[in-house]
Amino acid sequence: MSKNRFTPAYIVSLSAAHVLSKLERELQQPTHAVLVGRDLAHPNKTQQVTLGVIGAYVVVIAILWNVPYIKYILWPFKMLVIAFHEFGHAITAVCTGGRVKSISLDPNEGGVTTMVGGISAITLPAGYLGSSVIGALLIFCGFNIVASKVASLVLGVCFLLTLWWGKRDWLTVLTVLSAVGLLIGCWFIKHAEALRFVVLFIGVMSSLYSVWDICDDLILRKVNSSDASVFAKRYGGSSQCWGVIWSIISVLVMAVGIVAGLAAFSQSFEQQQEDSKHFIPT
């Protein structure tokens, strides 16, 4: 009898029973754990570090935005964020039947998109809201190294396009190329772990560009008129009112990017580094 007990059929049945038992235990997990995969109210240590970095970036960028001389540290990133802003204008102009004549970029004066036609009620706020959406996507990618690698490839192209469209004085060329070099260099630091913090930085800056830009308009009065002031002249209200509304929307969009990042990426730093080794390894 003992010789016949451990037949191949019996072993297979034991294995199947073990698998079914394990599956049954997993299915008995709380519904919210199955649907969400993790408790967003209690981020793990890696996610907590990322959230802390995002908070620090908000403070640092707010301080550096207008401080004399030191503000040039932000120059290449400011150029890129302004480019995102102007791309928002350009894309919506084309989508609403308009035509883009030119795009100019300058961190001191602000960007300008010259267009013909289109629906101005859509194209005017599209700059702020477009940069907010792009920023939220970058923040989402900044929660994971592999996602940040993908984002950095797109950012590199955007930096070079910004250099092409923007004013190409020696300082702009040097700073933009330095930013591209920073992205490349970060690929070789701990399997690109540093890269995701650069992507996060650009994401935060782009997400809150409307807030920074409204402050510029109210305090420094840039050469180029703001989208909010033009919108107010055409559709009523005050530029401050529209600026605040668009800023609130930008903050909400940024929050969506953060929540999505928490939900999608729960891997530890070690696991992310291991995954990064298998995606364009450096």
Q: Is 26 helix (H, G, I), strand (E, B) or coil?
A: helix
* Of the ranges 43-47, 78-82, 84-88, 177-181, the best mean pLDDT one: 43-47
Confidence class for position 115, pLDDT limits 50, 70, 90: confident
pLDDT score at 219: 54
The predicted structure's pLDDT at residue 217: 64
pLDDT category of residue 169 using cuts at 50, 70 and 90: low
Nearest C-alpha neighbor of 205 from the set 88, 50, 56, 68: 56
The answer to whether 263 and 37 are in contact (CB under 8 A) is yes
3-state helix, strand, coil in the chain (%, to 5): 75, 5, 25
- Quote the strand ranges of 83-220, DSSP E: 99-104, 112-116
Query: Measured between alpha carbons, how far is 38 from 266 in angstroms, rounded to an integer?
Result: 8
Of 107 and 267, more confident: 267
Q: Is 108 helix (H, G, I), strand (E, B) or coil?
A: coil
Neighbouring CB atoms inside 10 A of 242's CB total 23
Q: Which residue(s) pair with 114 in the sheet?
A: 102
Band of residue 3 on the pLDDT scale cut at 50, 70, 90: very low
Per the DSSP assignment, residues forming a β-bridge with 112 are: 104
Q: Can you give the C-alpha Rg of the chain in angstroms?
A: 24
Q: How confident is the prediction for the chain on average, in pLDDT?
A: 79
Task: Tell me the one-letter amino acid at 6.
Answer: F
Range of lowest pLDDT (71-75, 77-81, 173-177): 173-177
Q: What average pLDDT score do residues 151-164 get?
A: 82
pLDDT at 276 over 80: yes
pLDDT at 38 over 60: no
- pLDDT of res. 168: 65
Note the pLDDT of residue 108.
Answer: 64
Q: Write the DSSP string, 145-171.
A: HHHHHHHHHHHHHHHHHHHHHS---HH
Q: What pLDDT is stored for residue 263 in this prediction? A: 93
Q: Can you say whether the dihedral through the CA atoms of 83, 84, 85, 86 is positive or negative?
A: positive
User: How large is the average pLDDT for residues 251-262?
Assistant: 94
Residues sharing a CB contact under 8 Å with residue 71, sequence separation 6 or more, in sequence order? 64, 65
In this prediction, residue 107 carries a pLDDT of 61
In this structure, are residues 174 and 49 in contact, taking their beta carbons and an 8 Å threshold? no
Task: Write out pLDDT tens, residues 187-227.
Answer: 888 788 899 999 999 999 999 887 877 776 655 555 456 78
Question: d(Cα 186, Cα 200) in Å, to the nearest integer?
Answer: 13
Q: Where are the domains of the chain?
A: 42-278
Q: Tally the C-alpha atoms within 13 A of residue 257's C-alpha that lie toward its C-beta.
A: 29
pLDDT in tens, 225-252: 678 888 988 998 888 888 888 889 999 9
Residues in the chain: 282
Q: What's the start-to-end Cα distance of the chain, in Å?
A: 59
Residue of 68 and 188 predicted with greater confidence: 188
Residue 68 φ then ψ, to 5°? -55, 140
CA–CA gap between residue 128 and residue 241 (Å, rounded): 14
